[in-house]
């Protein structure tokens, strides 16, 4: 999908009422409950009690900024082709989803969510970008990287 088509699709989804999108996320959270794992020791104080709709990048960046062993991942949903961010951990077989504020076995998470990882950043890289732009979100460097990946995959 090219950049223009992606941006139009994103606008169309965001036109849906917030309550509709929130209910869809709640249903997805219920579906993922069967693979959810207990919060690993040391991360209990990092978890929020509520869903964080449309904040996968923000919540993943905040988590990576605060947890040195976090690996910030950017990927794409295979069915919708939307981009998504989540956290993985070096030498661990689980990951953290900032939208759902939950931990999952990595392999099952990829399978259930239909994700393809495109690239990663270290906690240090994300911290530097957060300082540089004084915000959390999809940074210009990430947009450029994703644009180049979209161009190369459509060729």
Q: What is this structure's pTM?
A: 0.86
User: What residues are paired with 72 via a beta bridge?
Assistant: 87, 121
d(CA 52, CA 100): 6
Do residues 102 and 35 touch, judged by C-beta distance below 8 A? Answer: no
Domain layout of the chain by residue ranges: 3-154
* DSSP letter assigned to residue 137: S
Could you give phi then psi for residue 139, rounded to 5 degrees? -80, 155
Choice among 13-27, 95-109, 114-128 with the minimum mean pLDDT: 13-27
| Residue 125 reports pLDDT greater than 90 | yes
d(CA 73, CA 88): 7
Q: Select from 92, 125, 127, 120 the least CA-distant residue to 106.
A: 92
Residue 59: pLDDT band with limits 50, 70, 90: very high
| Residue 1 reports pLDDT greater than 80 | no
Higher pLDDT: 57 or 5? It is: 57
């Amino acid at each position: 999908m090219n950049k223009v088509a992606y941006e139009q699709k994103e606008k169309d989804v965001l036109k849906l009422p917030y309550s509709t999108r929130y209910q869809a996320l709640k249903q997805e959270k219920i579906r993922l409950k069967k693979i959810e794992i207990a919060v690993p020791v040391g991360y209990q104080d990092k978890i929020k009690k509520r869903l964080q709709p449309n904040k996968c990048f923000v919540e993943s960046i905040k988590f990576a900024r605060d947890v040195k062993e976090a690996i910030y991942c950017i990927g794409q949903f295979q069915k919708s082709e939307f981009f998504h961010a989540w956290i993985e951990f070096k030498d661990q077989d689980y990951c953290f989803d900032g939208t759902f504020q939950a931990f999952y076995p990595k392999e099952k998470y990829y399978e259930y969510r239909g994700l393809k990882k495109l690239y990663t950043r270290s906690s240090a890289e994300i911290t530097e970008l957060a300082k540089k732009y004084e915000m959390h979100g999809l940074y210009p460097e990430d947009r450029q990287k994703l644009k180049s990946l979209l161009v190369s995959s459509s060729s």
